[in-house]
Amino acid sequence: MVSFESYLGFLLLIVMVGMGFWLLAFIVMVVVPYGLWGAIKERFSAKKKR
């Protein structure tokens, strides 16, 4: 039989891994494209001014 403390530790581990996964997914799908899009837009506007 699994003790209650082991169950809570496992539950905490699953929650932390899940939060890490979704944070990583958010960063890859939102933050990185936002930064790349801003850099590309800035580069095109700098070329236009020249």
Q: Is 8 among the domain residues? A: no
Q: Measured between alpha carbons, how far is 33 from 40 in angstroms, rounded to an integer?
A: 10
Q: Which domain holds residue 48?
A: 23-50
Q: Is 15 among the domain residues? A: no
Q: Measured between alpha carbons, how far is 50 from 40 in angstroms, rounded to an integer?
A: 16
pLDDT 10s per residue in the chain (50 long)? 889 999 999 999 999 999 999 999 999 999 999 999 999 999 999 888 77
Tell me the helices (H) and strands (E) count for the chain, helix number first.
2, 0
Q: Is 9 among the domain residues? A: no
pTM: 0.69
The pLDDT of residue 49 is 79
